[in-house]
A and B are shown apart, each in its own frame.
Chain A
Amino acid sequence: KAGVTQTPRYLIKTRGQQVTLSCSPISGHRSVSWYQQTPGQGLQFLFEYFSETQRNKGNFPGRFSGRQFSNSRSEMNVSTLELGDSALYLCASSLGPFSGANVLTFGAGSRLTVL
């Protein structure tokens, strides 16, 4: 069974650009969550999607957005990149909030560097 797949694994952007990160969940998983990991702030929750609906959102500016498609794949977008957006972006998938399992499986992450 394939795990959570995140693409691209590494990317370098300059300030002011935008970036789109992709996440393919484990087959059968309908919930996808995104987290930002930085040395200073640690792991912070960005968003959570289930059945194409945003269930929850973290405390990030509107430059951070996301969506989920009918096949459960998810994308997140960051517009007008700032140096502070440099981070490892982790995606996690699960069966969903009503499965009772409450177990998230993480991908390897997308390492974004903003110059």
Chain B
Amino acid sequence: AQTVTQSQPEMSVQEAETVTLSCTYDTSENNYYLFWYKQPPSRQMILVIRQEAYKQQNATENRFSVNFQKAAKSFSLKISDSQLGDTAMYFCASSSQNSQGGSEKLVFGKGTKLTVNP
């Protein structure tokens, strides 16, 4: 079974600063994906960044980047130049093919509430 752990329930950062959110996971699968989703107070879950486990290169999307440490099963999210609009719940999630090879089920962590202060 897959598990995802986010050890930081809440974090805050000043506008324009950099913040790193932590995530560890456990899976017995060889082929899996890792994600960071953002859920602003309006509730719509938005994909921030996606990492394929077989790719060693860390994924980046503009101000968002990850530090993927496969051996340590760690997948942290770095937000550079934080903006007020980054205030949200951030969920780390993993997904792997099920035994039938046809499922995209996501397993989520409990989330980290990030507040960006002006």
Chain A residues close to B by CB (< 8 Å): 31, 33, 35, 42-43, 45, 48, 50, 55-56, 58, 88, 90, 92, 94, 97-98, 102-109
Least distance between A91 CB and chain B CB atoms (Å) = 10
Please count the residue pairs between chain A and chain B whose beta carbons lie under 8 angstroms apart in the complex.
59
Least distance between A45 CB and chain B CB atoms (Å) = 5
Q: For residue A42, which residues in chain B have a CB less than 8 angstroms away from its CB? A: 108-111
Q: For residue B107, which residues in chain A have a CB less than 8 angstroms away from its CB? A: 45
Q: Do A90 and B45 have beta carbons less than 8 Å apart?
A: yes
Q: Do A106 and B105 have beta carbons less than 8 Å apart?
A: no
Query: Which secondary structure characterizes the binding site on chain B?
Result: loop
Q: If A42-B111, A102-B95 touch, does A50 touch B50 (CB 8 Å cutoff)?
A: no
Q: Do B105 and A45 have beta carbons less than 8 Å apart?
A: yes
**What is the interface residue range for chain B against chain A?**
20 to 34
Q: If A42-B108, A43-B91, A56-B98 touch, does A104 touch B47 (CB 8 Å cutoff)?
A: yes
User: In chain B, residues 1-47, which have Cβ atoms closer than 8 Å to a Cβ of chain A?
Assistant: 33, 37, 42-47
Q: For residue B37, which residues in chain A have a CB less than 8 angstroms away from its CB? A: 106
Q: Do B104 and A104 have beta carbons less than 8 Å apart?
A: yes
How far does the alpha carbon of A43 sit from the alpha carbon of B92 in the complex, in Å?
11
Least distance between B89 CB and chain A CB atoms (Å) = 10
Q: If A48-B103, A56-B103, A108-B43 touch, does A43 touch B108 (CB 8 Å cutoff)?
A: yes
Interface presence of B100 (CB below 8 A)? yes
Chain B residues close to A by CB (< 8 Å): 33, 37, 42-47, 50, 91, 95, 97-98, 100-111
Least distance between B49 CB and chain A CB atoms (Å) = 11
Q: If A42-B110, A42-B111, A56-B98 touch, does A48 touch B45 (CB 8 Å cutoff)?
A: no
Least distance between B71 CB and chain A CB atoms (Å) = 22
Q: Do B44 and A108 have beta carbons less than 8 Å apart?
A: yes
**22 A-B Cβ contacts within 8 A?**
A33-B105, A42-B109, A42-B110, A43-B108, A45-B106, A45-B107, A48-B104, A48-B105, A50-B102, A55-B98, A56-B98, A92-B106, A94-B104, A97-B104, A102-B33, A102-B50, A102-B104, A104-B106, A105-B47, A106-B44, A106-B45, A107-B44
